[in-house]
């Protein structure tokens, strides 16, 4: 079974592509992928017992209640968790991995001098903590882009970057 949440998600031979301001959940071991993470935050979630995985690609930290929930780290994570629970995941077993949140531009926001990337990471951490979800690995910050592949069977997150190479979280 596959669960899709927006129109931009597409499936190609056991791969689910997650676009920018998008998320998807899968229960069949498919690989979830996303690219173009700069200041955006990628949130990979996995319930190993249920075999359910999810991936969110959020652009901005917090929703003001208007617009697509997937665009924001707080509401995107909330929506992805809802999809995963509907598919049979148990929040108490879900673990998280984060990637992205780079400072891609040489200026800071008016929010305490933090960049959008830093604010995305902070919001993702707070939202996951609110749900009691442990972050077991992360590759965040820096000034480089990333692409992600989440193995739906193992929960391994492959992070690719032209600047820092490949690593598996």
CA 40 to chain centre: 9
Predicted confidence band of residue 29 (pLDDT cuts 50, 70, 90): confident
Look up residue 68 and give its two tokens: 């697509």
Quick check: 5 pLDDT over 50?
Answer: no
SS3 88: coil
Rounded distance between C-alpha atoms, residue 90 and residue 30, angstroms:
19
- The pTM of the full predicted model, rounded to 2 decimals, is 0.87
Catalytic residue IDs: 40
CB 101 within 8 A of CB 117: yes
Provide the CATH number for the domain around residue 128.
Answer: 3.30.1330.200
* Domain range enclosing 57: 2-168
Indicate the number of domains in the chain.
Answer: 1
What local confidence, expressed as pLDDT, does residue 112 receive?
Answer: 62
What local confidence, expressed as pLDDT, does residue 10 receive?
Answer: 45
The mean pLDDT of 17-42, rounded to a whole number, is 94
Q: How many CA atoms lie within 13 A of 73 on its CB side?
A: 27
Quick check: 92 pLDDT over 80?
Answer: yes
Rounded distance between C-alpha atoms, residue 37 and residue 100, angstroms:
6
Mean pLDDT, the chain, rounded, equals: 88
SS3 162: coil
Q: How many CA atoms lie within 13 A of 144 on its CB side?
A: 12
Please write the tens of the pLDDT for every residue from 46-78. 999 999 999 999 999 999 887 899 999 999 999
Rounded distance between C-alpha atoms, residue 67 and residue 11, angstroms:
25
Tell me what percent of the residues of the chain surpass a pLDDT of 90: 73
Rounded distance between C-alpha atoms, residue 62 and residue 145, angstroms:
21
What local confidence, expressed as pLDDT, does residue 165 receive?
Answer: 84
Quick check: 17 pLDDT over 60?
Answer: yes
Q: 53-67, 109-123, 139-153: lowest mean pLDDT where?
A: 109-123
Sequence-separated (6 or more) residues with CB below 8 Å from residue 76:
21, 23, 43, 56, 57, 58, 69, 70
Quick check: 104 pLDDT over 80?
Answer: no
Q: How far is CA 63 from CA 89, 134, 143, 158, in A?
A: 25, 23, 24, 28
């Amino acid at each position: 079974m596959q669960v899709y949440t927006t129109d931009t998600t597409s499936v190609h031979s056991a791969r689910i592509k997650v676009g920018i301001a998008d998320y998807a959940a899968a229960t069949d071991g498919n690989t979830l992928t996303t690219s173009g993470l700069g200041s955006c935050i990628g949130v990979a979630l996995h319930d190993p017992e249920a075999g359910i995985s999810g991936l969110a690609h959020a652009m901005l930290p917090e929703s003001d209640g208007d617009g697509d929930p997937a665009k924001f780290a707080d509401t995107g994570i909330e929506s992805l968790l809802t999809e995963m629970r509907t598919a049979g995941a148990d929040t108490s077993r879900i673990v998280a991995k984060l990637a992205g949140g780079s400072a891609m531009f040489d200026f800071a926001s008016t929010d305490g001098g933090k960049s959008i990337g830093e604010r995305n990471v902070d919001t993702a951490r707070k939202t996951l903590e609110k749900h009691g979800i442990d972050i077991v690995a992360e590759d965040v910050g820096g000034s480089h882009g990333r692409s992600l592949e989440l193995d739906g069977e193992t929960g391994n997150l492959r992070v690719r970057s032209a600047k820092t190479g490949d690593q598996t979280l």
